[in-house]
Amino acid sequence: MRIPFEITILLILCLRNKSYKCHAVHVGCGTRPRKRAKIVGGTDAQAGSWPWQVSLQMERYGHVCGASLVASRWLVSAAHCFQDSDVFVYVLAGILMPATRQIRRIILHSQYDQFTSDYDIALLELSAPVFFNELVQPVCVPASSHAFTSGTSCFVTGWGVLSEEGELATLLQEATVNIISHNTCNKMYDDAVTPRMLCAGNIQGGVDACQGDSGGPLVCLERGRRWFLAGIVSWGEGCARQNRPGVYTRVIKFTDWIHQQTKEQRQPLRLSLLVVI
């Protein structure tokens, strides 16, 4: 992979125009310490609802893709978000206290296929950790043996367009989608869904991820009341169309790869990251 000479990334973590103290608060992955009593067909997310949600933005053009915080130094996103990263300058912005970070590396899966969208996953390493607080928490990465069963109700979140060919959302959107069986989805997509892919949505249409949601999280609430990263927004035919559900990178197929890559240590590249958290 060709990595651009200098990349900055804007990290927006679910909240705008609020003032909170940034202090170390970590109660385990997949938790939402702050809970208050468009994705196509979604609704506005409340502040702090999805504390692992990240927005990757071009400096001049704004939001490009989503990502998820999985550890204090690591983000997970979709590989296709970085196909043309050599022509992009990304800016990372959060909401709270600004700080500058260096990005050590952007790792695309070596088997990523841009024509089939297979192995559509990327890792972004920060040279310095972010601080966990009420609004910044990592999502849980599931074990490779974990099963997200068909019919399970999960959530997809992002700042993507609110309708096919529509405008980007100004507020983080959330929507409930159901896991669809691999066989059922493959019939609808003429066997284009590989074992590394997971389908979720509504077969009747009306609710779906769309352009700008790519790389963002599909999360499911599991026993123990923790949220697990089941999928990464990858591709689909149109948005919220009947018999065309969203297709996600199936995270359990990459659990070992994520752990292997995040444990390795390499020298930092000359990439910069501005973080406001």
Rounded distance, CA 92 to CA 98, Å? Answer: 10
**Cα dihedral sign for 130, 252, 193, 79?**
positive
Measured CA angle at 267 (ends 63, 234), to 5 deg: 30
Options 80, 109, 208, 272, the catalytic residue: 80
Rounded distance, CA 1 to CA 136, Å? Answer: 30
Rounded distance, CA 88 to CA 3, Å? Answer: 11
DSSP 191: T
Mark whether 80 is an active-site residue. yes
Mark whether 153 is an active-site residue. no
Among residues 226, 218, 212, the alpha carbon closest in space to that of 245 is found at: 218
Mark whether 118 is an active-site residue. no
CA distances from 182 to 144, 172, 177, 228, 254 (A): 17, 29, 15, 19, 17
Give the count of beta carbons closer than 10 Å to the beta carbon of residue 46: 17
**Cα 273–chain centre separation:** 18
**Cα 129–chain centre separation:** 18
Options 118, 120, 208, 213, the catalytic residue: 120
41 — alpha (psi -120 to 50), left (phi > 0) or beta?
left
Options 49, 55, 77, 214, the catalytic residue: 214
Catalytic residue list: 80, 120, 214
